[in-house]
Structure 1
Amino acid sequence: MVKHLCVVFLFVIHALAVHAQSKVTVGKPYAVIDAESKYYFTNNGEILTVKIHKRAITLQKMNAVNLSFQKIKLYDDFPKDFQLEKITEFKDRYYFFYSLWENEEEQLFCREIDFASCSFKGPGKKVITVKEEISGSLVRAGMWRMALSDKFDFFFSYDSTSLVIQYRLKPEKRNDSKNYDVIGMHVFDKNLKEKWSNRIKMPYTEKKMDNLDYSVDSKGNVYIVTRVFNDNTTDEKKRGDDDANYHLEILKVATSSGAITTTKVDVADKFVQTIWLYESAQGHMICAGFYNTGKNMDNVDGVILFKFSPDGKLFDLNSYEIPVEILNQYASGKTKRKNDRKDDDDKAEFENLDLQHVEVQKDGSIVLVSEQKYIRTHTTYTNGRSNTYYTYHCNDIFITKINASGKLAWMKKLPKRQEGGAGFGGMSYCYFISDKNHYMIFLDNEKNMDLPLTEVPARHVDGAGGFLTAYKINDASGAVEKVSLLNTRDVNGIEVFQFAPHRIMATDVNTLVFEAYKKKKEDILVKIVLED
Structure 2
Amino acid sequence: MKIINLTLLFFLGNLSLFAQDEIPVPSEVKIVRSEPYPVVDAYLKEYYPLGNGEVLAIKLNRKGGLIVQKFSGENLNETLKGESLLKIEKGTAIEGTFKMGDSFYFMFSKLTGTQEVTLYSKEINTSTLMFENDEKELLTMTEPENQVPFGAIVLSKQTFPRFSFDFSSDRSKMVVSYRKKPKVKDDSNNNDVIGMYAFDSEMNKVWGNEYQMPYTESLMDNLDFTLDSNGNGYFLIRKYKEEVTRKNRESADNQSLAILIANPEGSLNEVEFNLGEYIIDDVFMKENKDGNIICAGYYRKPKSYGMDGTFVSILDSKGNLRAPRFYEFSLDFIKKYKRISEKQKGRMEKADENGRLAMTNLEMRNIQVLEDGGVVLGGEIYYVTSTTDPKTGRTTYTYHFDDVILVKINGDGELGWMEKFPKRSVTESFRLLVSEKFTYVLFRDPLRNATMTEDGEVNREIRGDYVTAHRVDNKTGERKYLPLFDSRKIDGIAVYQYALNRVTALSDNSFAIELYIKKKSDMMFKVEFEE
TM-score normalised by structure 1 residue count: 0.87
Secondary structure of the corresponding residue to residue 138 of structure 2 = strand
1:163 has 2:162 as partner: no
**Map of 1:381-420 to 2, 5 A cutoff?**
381=390, 388-419=395-426
1:177 has 2:165 as partner: no
Cα gap change, 1:220 to 1:530, in 2 (>3 Å): closer
1:347 has 2:359 as partner: no
Contact 1:235–1:245 (CA under 8 A) maintained in structure 2: no
Give the C-alpha shift of residue 337 in structure 1.
5.1
Q: 1:192 aligns with which of 195, 203, 216?
A: 203
Give the C-alpha shift of residue 245 in structure 1.
2.2
Contact 1:353–1:372 (CA under 8 A) maintained in structure 2: yes
Return the alpha-carbon distance in structure 2 between the equivalents of residues 286 and 141 of structure 1: 34
Cα gap change, 1:236 to 1:435, in 2 (>3 Å): farther
**Map of 1:323-472 to 2, 5 A cutoff?**
323-334=330-341, 336=345, 338-379=347-388, 381=390, 388-419=395-426, 424=427, 427-455=428-456, 466-472=465-471
Which residue of the partner structure matches residue 524 of structure 2?
A: 525
1:76 has 2:85 as partner: yes
Worse-matched range after superposition: 27-36 or 15-24: 15-24
Which residue of the partner structure matches residue 315 of structure 1?
A: 322
Return the alpha-carbon distance in structure 2 between the equivalents of residues 251 and 84 of structure 1: 30
Give the C-alpha shift of residue 84 in structure 1.
2.1
Give the C-alpha shift of residue 364 in structure 1.
1.8
Which residue of the partner structure matches residue 98 of structure 1?
A: 108
Give the C-alpha shift of residue 83 in structure 1.
1.8
Which residue of the partner structure matches residue 12 of structure 2?
A: none
Between structures 1 and 2, the one with greater helix share = 2
Structure 1 residue ranges without an equivalent (≥5) = 1-12
Q: 1:251 aligns with which of 243, 260, 273?
A: 260
Cα gap change, 1:215 to 1:459, in 2 (>3 Å): farther
Cα gap change, 1:161 to 1:75, in 2 (>3 Å): closer
Secondary structure of the corresponding residue to residue 449 of structure 1 = helix
Q: 1:212 aligns with which of 219, 223, 227?
A: 223
| Alpha-carbon displacement from aligned partner over 1:331-355 (angstroms, at most 9, x marks no partner) | 1215655533421221111121121
Return the alpha-carbon distance in structure 1 between the equivalents of residues 290 and 528 of structure 2: 34
Return the alpha-carbon distance in structure 2 between the equivalents of residues 412 and 372 of structure 1: 13
Equivalent residue letter for 1:74? E
Q: 1:56 aligns with which of 65, 81, 100?
A: 65
Give the C-alpha shift of residue 213 in structure 1.
1.2
Which residue of the partner structure matches residue 9 of structure 1?
A: none
Give the C-alpha shift of residue 295 in structure 1.
5.4
Worse-matched range after superposition: 513-522 or 214-223: 214-223
1:148 has 2:160 as partner: yes
Which residue of the partner structure matches residue 31 of structure 1?
A: 38
Equivalent residue letter for 1:69? E
Cα gap change, 1:230 to 1:126, in 2 (>3 Å): same
Structure 2 residue ranges without an equivalent (≥5) = 9-23
Contact 1:24–1:486 (CA under 8 A) maintained in structure 2: no
Equivalent residue letter for 1:200? Y
TM-score normalised by structure 2 residue count: 0.88
| Alpha-carbon displacement from aligned partner over 1:203-229 (angstroms, at most 9, x marks no partner) | 111211111111222333222111111
Return the alpha-carbon distance in structure 2 between the equivalents of residues 414 and 512 of structure 1: 21
Cα gap change, 1:488 to 1:216, in 2 (>3 Å): closer
Equivalent residue letter for 1:320? Y
Contact 1:288–1:303 (CA under 8 A) maintained in structure 2: yes
Return the alpha-carbon distance in structure 2 between the equivalents of residues 36 and 228 of structure 1: 41
Which residue of the partner structure matches residue 490 of structure 1?
A: 489
Contact 1:236–1:244 (CA under 8 A) maintained in structure 2: no
Equivalent residue letter for 2:497? Q
Secondary structure of the corresponding residue to residue 340 of structure 1 = helix
Equivalent residue letter for 1:451? M
Return the alpha-carbon distance in structure 1 between the equivalents of residues 363 and 49 of structure 2: 27
Cα gap change, 1:89 to 1:134, in 2 (>3 Å): same
Cα gap change, 1:316 to 1:405, in 2 (>3 Å): farther
Cα gap change, 1:338 to 1:113, in 2 (>3 Å): farther
Give the C-alpha shift of residue 508 in structure 1.
5.2
Contact 1:46–1:65 (CA under 8 A) maintained in structure 2: no
Return the alpha-carbon distance in structure 2 between the equivalents of residues 283 and 388 of structure 1: 47
Return the alpha-carbon distance in structure 2 between the equivalents of residues 274 and 459 of structure 1: 35
Secondary structure of the corresponding residue to residue 333 of structure 1 = coil
Q: 1:287 aligns with which of 291, 295, 303?
A: 295
Which residue of the partner structure matches residue 7 of structure 1?
A: none
Return the alpha-carbon distance in structure 1 between the equivalents of residues 477 and 124 of structure 2: 39
Secondary structure of the corresponding residue to residue 56 of structure 2 = strand
Secondary structure of the corresponding residue to residue 268 of structure 1 = coil
Secondary structure of the corresponding residue to residue 451 of structure 2 = coil
Percent identity, aligned pairs only?
A: 30
Return the alpha-carbon distance in structure 2 between the equivalents of residues 458 and 148 of structure 1: 48
Return the alpha-carbon distance in structure 1 between the equivalents of residues 100 and 247 of structure 2: 41
Equivalent residue letter for 2:120? F
Return the alpha-carbon distance in structure 1 between the equivalents of residues 302 and 521 of structure 2: 51
1:129 has 2:140 as partner: yes
Worse-matched range after superposition: 204-213 or 116-125: 116-125
CA RMSD after TM alignment? 2.6
Secondary structure of the corresponding residue to residue 342 of structure 1 = helix
Return the alpha-carbon distance in structure 2 between the equivalents of residues 366 and 429 of structure 1: 18
Give the C-alpha shift of residue 289 in structure 1.
0.8
Cα gap change, 1:509 to 1:407, in 2 (>3 Å): closer
Which residue of the partner structure matches residue 17 of structure 2?
A: none
Which residue of the partner structure matches residue 96 of structure 2?
A: 86
Contact 2:100–2:173 (CA under 8 A) maintained in structure 1: no
Secondary structure of the corresponding residue to residue 174 of structure 1 = coil
Which residue of the partner structure matches residue 16 of structure 1?
A: 4
Worse-matched range after superposition: 209-218 or 164-173: 209-218
Contact 1:249–1:264 (CA under 8 A) maintained in structure 2: yes
Secondary structure of the corresponding residue to residue 224 of structure 1 = strand
Equivalent residue letter for 2:309? G
